[in-house]
Structure 1
Amino acid sequence: MATPDASLNQRETRSSWRFNHSEEEGRQSLADVHSTVAVPTGGTWFRRFLAFVGPGYMVSVGYMDPGNWATDIAGGAQFGYTLLTVILLSNLMAILLQALAARLGIATGRDLAQACRDAYPKPVGFVLWIACELAIIACDLAEVIGTAIALKLLFGIPLIAGALITALDAILLLYLMQKGFRFLEAFVMALLGIIALCFIVQIAAAAPPVAAVLQGFLPSTEVVTNPAMLYIAIGIIGATVMPHNLYLHSSIVQTRQFERTEPGKREAIKWATLDSTIALMLALFINAAILIVAASVFHANGRTDVAEIEQAYELLSPLLGLGIASTLFAVALLASGLNSTVTATLAGQIVMEGFLRLTIPNWARRLITRGIAIVPVVVITYLYGERGTAELLVLSQVVLSMQLPFAVIPLVSFVTNREKMGTFVVARWVGVLAWLVATIIVVLNVKLLYDTFIA
């Protein structure tokens, strides 16, 4: 006779997610690396935590990609340190949303794309897939443009050739994945270290006033009352919270070989959340550093018109008085672009597999997702030159804003649903906070679209 506890566990298992049984077999997210990273069963807590370190840093890449650079540079050049509070707010939103994505992946064994496919009718799932693909294409556009600009600044490579070179990231990703998922994570973390080091040097050279920097992290009513400042603030939030990261994170946390029991999943959720929180604090530092450098170098010298990456590169060394400053800026941009293209291409694979259950070879799938982004960049650059790519970069952020609700709302609705999550449903206060964040993001992005197309 079943005990009350056993009956309760059976009910929780049945209600946790309707596809957790027969449909789960053979449909693991990123099946070629699923559960390939060993987690020690003994040892200290720190050793176990280290086994979960990695996915958070891969996710953090999307929060400091080239799409963020333009908004951070413009914000610092025009308004000094005031918008640091917006960077902090958007980063706190990102920490919450990524924690929810990790919880979904670990608790249900499904990534967000698979969850959407199995929870919604086919027409709804198709719309969500199209929206997600548009998001990834928009992200890819920004990353391809950023990488191409960095190659031009460092090596004099024309933008079209630089955009074509970014196609090699599909081959790079395939090579890294064959070496093991830990190898891919190490590659990403090494590039993040390069970016951080470049900006540490630049901040040290700029020597911004500490009091003014700290004041910038405090809320200011001017952000809301000043239309120009509000526009850039919305752009910072829109460029920071990247929807493809939610799909990516919910998948790559499943690369860990943790015990698929309730205690094992709870521990995995704890370490994965800590990993992403620490990694996103690094993203906060990078984004804040870009704005701080722009504020202390451009705004302080009256160059409030600086808004584009190439402008910043040309003026940084002369105004800062450090010959290597512009080179470090371009090196960081290149590292950011390479990292972002690798992780966005991986997210593209996750989305295509999750929504469509495609079985085409990995290399072909990656080349398709990268090619979709490269073609518009090459065509626009050929027809309209460099100014066209700058406008395309802005358009990519608008496209991201349009589809952001299609990722955030399903995620929050899943993790707050006890019928789907069982005992892993988030606490009520976390659910309220998550819906508040989702509402803020949607409202701000709707305003961005209004200001872009109507106002």
Structure 2
Amino acid sequence: MAKDKSGYIIAAAFIGPGTVTTASIAGANFGFHLVWALLFSITATMVLQDMAARLGIATGQGLATNLKEISQNPVLRLLFSLLIVAAVGIGNAAYESGNLTGAAIGLDAFFAIGTGNWAIILGAISALLLWSGKYKVIESVLVVLVIAMAIVFFVTLFAAGPEWTAMFSQAATPQLNTSTINMVLALIGTTIVPYNLFLHASLTAQNYIGADKAEAIAASRKQSVFAIGFGGLITLVVMATAMMAFFNQAASMDAANMGKQLEPVLGEWAQWFFAAGLFAAGLTSSITAPLAASYAVCGAFNWPQDMQGKAFRSIWLAIIVTGVVIAGMGFKPLSAIMFAQAANGLLLPIVAIFLLVVMNRNATLGEFKNGTTSNVLGALVVGFVVCLGVYKLYSLF
């Protein structure tokens, strides 16, 4: 059995530039009044990723392949395939644009040639790494950089002397209205990443071949809870440092001064370090998102899930190209990243409902099917996100 690190890969995938940017904006604009949305997101991520990992281990197949096997009706199977392509393709294209934009913001702080130009360069780098098939080595290095950034955020939080009373007071008075709904959806979309459900199922299916299923599921669950919980803690700390630097202060946060929140520890180097962290987080996620799309689409159409295969390569290349085009269209950088996270929040129910259906109807799961607790928790997650989406649409009129 290969050593499984899928839980850490999932955590690293959602701690991208979208998470850093979204958490920073949330803390700067709303303080800790939206902590409830983050706590919900982390809990929901643990619930849904546990289902995806359990599915991969118990069946030895990814989520997309399992979805097609729900029905033998060729029309329904084709419909499932098309829905997978639509949900994952659209979601990943939006997410990829946010990843590339975030990394481009970081690089543009060092060499100002424009975020659109950097997006093209970064897209090319991501494509070359995936084409080589050796992306995991590069990804590991970048994850280390992201962890280093997280350490600085932790040090900054305590060195700056946080106002714990104000934080708890704001956390105890949650907000949800027309002015916060976009941010709530963005926090959910940047944490409960739909493509991670496909990625996690595929990775565990490959990594636990031949293992005792009960033991493998227990080990995977323990790892995922720890890794996702740590990722949530990082997000919370980013929100806290931004709150101290910008909330109810004269200065407002934008792409040029996000790194100010690190000044208590890093001084004049704060902006540079923050930029390097955005680049590392962005490049890591810009590799993971198209990879997950390839697994999902190839599984949906029964194509070989081989990284050297033509279909596999064509799919991730299409996602990268689409992400580059969107990132280079001239949108305001932070707006582009926020849009990507909100789009994921709206697409999440589609994928989550698919996951719930297959976790109850797949005969191969046997004793590892969803129990009452998993179904109730999953239904609550889906129901709440759907209600938020409806509220968002209602607020537009």
TM-score, structure 2 as length reference: 0.88
> Contact (CA 8 Å) 2:188, 2:345: kept in 1 or not?
no
Work out the CA distance in 2 between the residues paired with 1:87 and 1:301: 23
Tell me what 1:366 maps to.
316
CA spacing shift, 1:423–1:188, aligned 2, 3 Å: farther
Farther off after superposition, 151-160 or 288-297: 151-160
Tell me what 1:272 maps to.
220
Question: Residue 60 of structure 1 is aligned with which of 1, 6, 11?
Answer: 11
Q: Deviations over 1:366-394 (max 9, x none)?
A: 3332112112222x12xxxx63x444334
Tell me what 1:335 maps to.
280
Percentage of identical aligned residues: 25
Tell me what 2:107 maps to.
151
Aligned partner of residue 342 in structure 1, secondary structure: helix
CA spacing shift, 1:188–1:57, aligned 2, 3 Å: farther
Aligned partner of residue 210 in structure 2, secondary structure: coil
Tell me what 2:361 maps to.
417
Structure 2: runs of 5+ lacking an equivalent: none
CA RMSD in angstroms comes to 2.6
Question: Residue 289 of structure 2 is aligned with which of 344, 348, 354?
Answer: 344
Question: Residue 322 of structure 1 is aligned with which of 267, 275, 281?
Answer: 267
1:61 Cα deviation after fit: 2.5
Work out the CA distance in 2 between the residues paired with 1:394 and 1:257: 36
1:266 Cα deviation after fit: 1.1
Q: Which residue identity does 2:228 align to in structure 1?
A: L
1:136 Cα deviation after fit: 0.7
Quick check: 1:426 aligned with 2:370?
A: yes
Work out the CA distance in 1 between the residues paired with 2:288 and 2:34: 27
Tell me what 1:190 maps to.
144
Q: Deviations over 1:180-204 (max 9, x none)?
A: x6x4663454233223223234324
Q: Which residue identity does 1:116 align to in structure 2?
A: L
CA spacing shift, 1:200–1:157, aligned 2, 3 Å: farther
Tell me what 2:39 maps to.
88
**Following superposition of structure 1 onto structure 2, how do residues 436-447 of structure 1 map, counting pairs within 5 Å?**
436-447=380-391
1:219 Cα deviation after fit: 4.5
Work out the CA distance in 2 between the residues paired with 1:428 and 1:189: 36
**Following superposition of structure 1 onto structure 2, how do residues 37-56 of structure 1 map, counting pairs within 5 Å?**
38-39=1-2, 51-52=3-4, 54-56=5-7
Q: Which residue identity does 1:92 align to in structure 2?
A: T
1:302 Cα deviation after fit: 3.9
1:257 Cα deviation after fit: 4.3
Structure 1: runs of 5+ lacking an equivalent: 1-37, 40-50
Tell me what 2:95 maps to.
139
1:423 Cα deviation after fit: 1.1
CA spacing shift, 1:204–1:249, aligned 2, 3 Å: same
Q: Deviations over 1:92-137 (max 9, x none)?
A: 1111111111011111112111122332511232123212100110
1:72 Cα deviation after fit: 1.7
Q: Deviations over 1:258-287 (max 9, x none)?
A: 425xxx011111111111111111211221
1:447 Cα deviation after fit: 2.2
Work out the CA distance in 2 between the residues paired with 1:418 and 1:112: 11
Work out the CA distance in 1 between the residues paired with 2:182 and 2:322: 29
Work out the CA distance in 1 between the residues paired with 2:111 and 2:160: 25
Q: Deviations over 1:238-271 (max 9, x none)?
A: 33211001011111112324425xxx01111111
Q: Which residue identity does 1:69 align to in structure 2?
A: V
Tell me what 1:356 maps to.
301
CA spacing shift, 1:353–1:195, aligned 2, 3 Å: farther
Q: Deviations over 1:134-172 (max 9, x none)?
A: 011011010011111111013334212210111211222
Aligned partner of residue 155 in structure 1, secondary structure: coil
Q: Which residue identity does 2:58 align to in structure 1?
A: A
Work out the CA distance in 2 between the residues paired with 1:331 and 1:185: 15
> Contact (CA 8 Å) 2:359, 2:365: kept in 1 or not?
yes
Q: Deviations over 1:43-90 (max 9, x none)?
A: xxxxxxxx33x1111111232222233332222112222222321221
Q: Which residue identity does 2:379 align to in structure 1?
A: W
**Following superposition of structure 1 onto structure 2, how do residues 20-419 of structure 1 map, counting pairs within 5 Å?**
38-39=1-2, 51-52=3-4, 54-120=5-71, 121=76, 122-167=78-123, 168-175=125-132, 177-178=133-134, 183=137, 186-187=140-141, 189-215=143-169, 218-220=171-173, 222-224=174-176, 226-259=177-210, 264-299=212-247, 301-303=249-251, 305-306=252-253, 308-313=254-259, 315-316=260-261, 322-358=267-303, 360-361=309-310, 362-378=312-328, 380-381=329-330, 387=332, 389-417=333-361, 419=363
Aligned partner of residue 82 in structure 1, secondary structure: coil
Pick 1 or 2: higher relative contact order, CA cutoff 8 A, min separation 6. 2
Aligned partner of residue 223 in structure 1, secondary structure: coil
1:211 Cα deviation after fit: 3.9
Q: Which residue identity does 1:223 align to in structure 2?
A: Q
Work out the CA distance in 2 between the residues paired with 1:422 and 1:400: 31
Q: How many residues align?
A: 386
1:350 Cα deviation after fit: 0.6
CA spacing shift, 1:107–1:184, aligned 2, 3 Å: farther
> Contact (CA 8 Å) 2:198, 2:292: kept in 1 or not?
yes
